[in-house]
Amino acid sequence: MWYNAPETLLLQEGKEASVAELRDRLVRSRRQTLLHTYRAVLVPTLRSPATWLFCLIYLAAAGILLAAGKSSDVIIQSALLAGTLLFVLLTIPLTARSPSAAQEETPVEASGRLWIQLAILLVFLLLTLYRSMVFSQTEPPSLAQIPVLTPFVRFLGALPSIAVNPVVYFVLPAAALLVAGVHWREMGFGRGYRSWAVTVLWGVPYLTMIVINLFTGGLSFPELLGRVIRNSLQNGFFEEFFFRGALMSRLSRLLGPAWGLVLSSLAFGFWHLGVNATMFHGNYLQAAAFSCLS
């Protein structure tokens, strides 16, 4: 069968060439798909007025802190922003096929219901913001004694945060939204969001810092476990639900994804106004600027 060797060799080379060509086509197809995914997300984002409004607010906030001599805060927050943008770029391909509330058409008759849902969330937002100010003792004198509200907030402040936060950030807002006609899947509780993949990706920097602290002795395992439990039960999931699952989804349905993202992010920043005011000795202008940067 030696005389068939050249033909066999040619067939083998042809198969190898076909495999190589298919592999090359697959690589090109994946690259084109990736570029299309980034283009579909980034182009509308960069063209949105919401993006440029956020940039202007960010620059104005940085200018306020620089004028006050807080250049270190601006540098640190700018570095964190750069890292955040890098992880945003890595997240885009992971969530390319995820469902979006903003993709659903909002009938005119449904917009009124959405505004009611947004008003409900605004009530809880202002309540928890005022609670934060009272807790950090940074509320303005004019807001120091509000009938009914101040005693109620002080009562909440006397209770453990591990019991109060889940209720005011999740249980009550979720119940109110369900009564107002919101479905669980509209608030992020549905299939296809790639939550675990995104969690693993964004958890890398924190896991790296945890490992470093554990190996250098900066943090013991019981301390780490305690912090994880406290953060999970006090903040973490419950804040993400309120600002992303509830607030951002309502804003996105009403105003579009870019406005939903920008406005909910600014709301989250200003929500820390009371805590940030303690860092700037009660200077609310600088605290507001830092809230925008962070």
Return the structure tokens found at 167: 């209720």
pTM comes to: 0.81
Q: What is the pLDDT of residue 15?
A: 55
Name, in order, each residue with C-beta under 8 angstroms of 56's C-beta and a sequence gap of 6 or more.
Answer: none
Is the confidence at residue 147, as pLDDT, over 80?
yes
Which tokens hold the place of 185?
A: 């899947």
121 part of a folded domain: yes
Question: How would residue 16 be classed by pLDDT, with cut points 50, 70 and 90?
Answer: low
- 70 in a structural domain: yes
What is the span of the domain harbouring residue 282? Answer: 48-293
* pLDDT of res. 157: 75
Q: Which residues contact 290 (CB under 8 A, 6 or more apart)?
A: 61, 65, 70, 73, 77, 276, 279, 280
Distance between CA atoms of 63 and 71, rounded to whole angstroms?
9
Query: Which of 250, 243, 284 is CA-nearest to residue 266?
Result: 243
Could you tell me if residue 287 is inside a domain?
A: yes
In the chain, the amino acid numbered 193 is: Y
Specify whether the CB–CB gap between 56 and 262 falls below 8 A. Answer: no
Residue 24 resides in a domain: no
Averaged pLDDT score across all residues of the chain: 83
Q: Residue 2: pLDDT above 50?
A: no
**CB 165: neighbour CB atoms within 10 A?**
21
* Residue 228 falls inside a structural domain: yes
* Domain presence at residue 255: yes
Domain contains 12: no
Domains held by the chain: number: 1
Q: Tell whether 280 is covered by a domain.
A: yes
The model's confidence at residue 214, banded by pLDDT at 50, 70 and 90, is confident
Both structure tokens of 282: 């009660």
> Residue 157 is encoded by which pair of tokens?
């402040």
